[in-house]
Structure 1
Amino acid sequence: MMSTETRERPAAPQTGAAAPPALSPTIRSEDVGLRSLIPYLNGYWRTLGTVAVLSLVVTLLTLSQPVLIRDVLSDIQADHHVGGLVALLVGALVAVAVLSGIRDYLLQRVAEGMVLSARRRLVERLLRLPIAEYDRRRTGDLLSRVGADTTLLRAVVTSGLFDTVTNVVMVGGSAVMMFLIDGPLFAATALGLGVGVLAVVGLSRRVRGASREAQDRVGEMTSAVERAISAVRTIRASGAEQREAVAVDGYARHAYDAGIRIARLQAMINPITSTTVQVAFLVVLGVGGARVASGAIQVGDLVAFLLFLFTLWFPLGRALSAYSKLQTGLGALHRIEEVLLLPQESDTAGDAVSAGRLTVRERIRSDEPRPDGEQLPPALEFDHVDFGYGDGETVLRDVSLTVPRGTRTALVGPSGAGKSTLLALVERFYDVTSGVVRVDGTDVREQPRRTLRHTLGYVEQSAPVLAGTVRDNLALAAPEATEEQMRGILRSVNLEDVIMRAPLGLDAEVGEGGVLLSGGERQRLALARTFLAAPPIMLLDEATSNLDARNEVLMRDAIGAVSADRSLLVVAHRLSTVVDSDQIVVLEHGEVVAMGRHEELTDSSPLYRELASHQLLIK
Structure 2
Amino acid sequence: MTARPEGSPATEKRQTPAAGGGGEGQEDVVAVPLRRLLAYARPHAPVLALAALLSCMAAVVELAQPLVVKQVFSQLSDSRPVTATVLLIVGLFLAEALLGSVQSYLLGRIGEGVVLDLRTSLVRRLLKWPMATYARHRSGDLISRVSADTTAVHGALASSLTETLAGVLTFAGSLVLMLMLDPLLLGLTLGCLLIASVSVFTVSVRVMKATVEAQRAVGRLGAGLERVLRAIRTVKLSNAEEREESALISESRDSYLAGIRQAKLQALIHPVTALSVQGSLVLVLGIGGARVANGTMELGELIAFLLYLMYLAVPATTLFSSFTDLQAGRAALARVQELLDEPLETEPPAGPAAAPDPEPAPPSPARRRPSGISLHGVTFAYPGRDDRPTLRDLGFEVPELSRTALVGPSGAGKSTVLSLIGRMYDADRGAVRLLGRDVTRMPLKEVRDLIGHVEQESPVMAGTLRSNLTYAHPDATDAEIAEVLARTNLTEFADSLPQGLETEVGDGGILVSGGQRQRIAIARMLLKRPRILLLDEVTSQMDAENERLLNETLKEAAASCTVLVVAHRLSTIQDADQILVMDAGRIIQTGTHDHLIREPGLYAHLARTQLLPTAPPQPDPSAAAR
**2:583 counterpart residue number:** 588
Deviation digits for residues 567-610 of structure 1, max 9, x if unmatched? 11110011211100001111112121211110111122432112
**2:603 counterpart residue number:** 608
Q: 2:412 matched to 1:417?
A: yes
Q: 2:610 matched to 1:617?
A: no
Q: Please point out which of 385, 393, 396 is paired with 1:401.
A: 396
The one-letter code sitting in structure 2 at the alignment partner of 1:601 is: L
Q: 2:555 matched to 1:550?
A: no
Q: Is the 8 A contact 1:140 1:220 kept in 2?
A: yes
Total equivalences in the alignment: 588
Distance 1:356 1:193 in 2: 70
From the superposition, tell whether residues 385 and 109 of structure 1 become closer, same or farther in structure 2 (CA, over 3 Å): same
**2:250 counterpart residue number:** 250
Q: Is the 8 A contact 2:453 2:533 kept in 1?
A: yes
Q: 2:372 matched to 1:379?
A: yes
| 3-state DSSP of counterpart to 1:379 | strand
Q: Please point out which of 468, 487, 492 is paired with 2:487.
A: 492
Task: Point out 4+ residue stretches in structure 1 off by more than 4 angstroms.
Answer: 24-31, 349-358, 373-376
Identity of aligned residues (%): 41
Deviation of the 1:29 alpha carbon: 5.0
**1:302 counterpart residue number:** 302
Deviation digits for residues 189-241 of structure 1, max 9, x if unmatched? 11122111221122112211221121112111111111111111111111111
Distance 1:26 1:239 in 2: 34
| 3-state DSSP of counterpart to 1:604 | coil
**1:202 counterpart residue number:** 202
Relative contact order higher in (CA < 8 Å, ≥ 6 apart): 1
1:125-524 paired onto structure 2 within 5 Å = 125-349=125-349, 377-390=370-383, 391=385, 392-524=387-519
Deviation of the 1:416 alpha carbon: 0.7
| 3-state DSSP of counterpart to 2:288 | helix
Q: 2:539 matched to 1:576?
A: no
| 3-state DSSP of counterpart to 2:508 | helix
Deviation digits for residues 351-408 of structure 1, max 9, x if unmatched? 99969999x9xxxxxxxxxxxx998641111112111113232111121110011111
Q: Root-mean-square deviation (CA), in Å?
A: 2.3
Is 20-29 or 56-65 further displaced after alignment?
20-29
**2:114 counterpart residue number:** 114
Deviation of the 1:262 alpha carbon: 1.4
**2:14 counterpart residue number:** none
Q: Is the 8 A contact 2:557 2:563 kept in 1?
A: no
Distance 1:265 1:393 in 2: 48
Deviation digits for residues 257-283 of structure 1, max 9, x if unmatched? 322221231233233222211111111
Deviation digits for residues 465-510 of structure 1, max 9, x if unmatched? 1111122122221122112211211111111221133232222211
| 3-state DSSP of counterpart to 1:92 | helix
Distance 2:120 2:342 in 1: 15
Deviation digits for residues 25-46 of structure 1, max 9, x if unmatched? 8888576133223453344222
Distance 2:438 2:153 in 1: 44
Q: Is the 8 A contact 1:203 1:265 kept in 2?
A: yes
**1:365 counterpart residue number:** none
The one-letter code sitting in structure 2 at the alignment partner of 1:420 is: S
Q: Is the 8 A contact 1:468 1:511 kept in 2?
A: yes
Distance 2:375 2:224 in 1: 39
From the superposition, tell whether residues 352 and 542 of structure 1 become closer, same or farther in structure 2 (CA, over 3 Å): farther
Unaligned runs of 5+ in 2: 1-18, 361-365, 618-626
The one-letter code sitting in structure 2 at the alignment partner of 1:327 is: Q
Q: Is the 8 A contact 2:407 2:414 kept in 1?
A: yes
Q: Is the 8 A contact 2:404 2:578 kept in 1?
A: yes
The one-letter code sitting in structure 1 at the alignment partner of 2:418 is: L
Is 522-531 or 314-323 further displaced after alignment?
314-323
Deviation of the 1:159 alpha carbon: 3.8
Distance 2:516 2:490 in 1: 7
| TM-score normalised by L of structure 2 | 0.90
| TM-score normalised by L of structure 1 | 0.91
The one-letter code sitting in structure 2 at the alignment partner of 1:501 is: S
The one-letter code sitting in structure 1 at the alignment partner of 2:46 is: R
Q: Is the 8 A contact 1:353 1:447 kept in 2?
A: no
Deviation of the 1:168 alpha carbon: 2.0
Unaligned runs of 5+ in 1: 1-18, 361-372
Q: Is the 8 A contact 2:55 2:162 kept in 1?
A: no
The one-letter code sitting in structure 1 at the alignment partner of 2:378 is: V
From the superposition, tell whether residues 285 and 326 of structure 1 become closer, same or farther in structure 2 (CA, over 3 Å): same
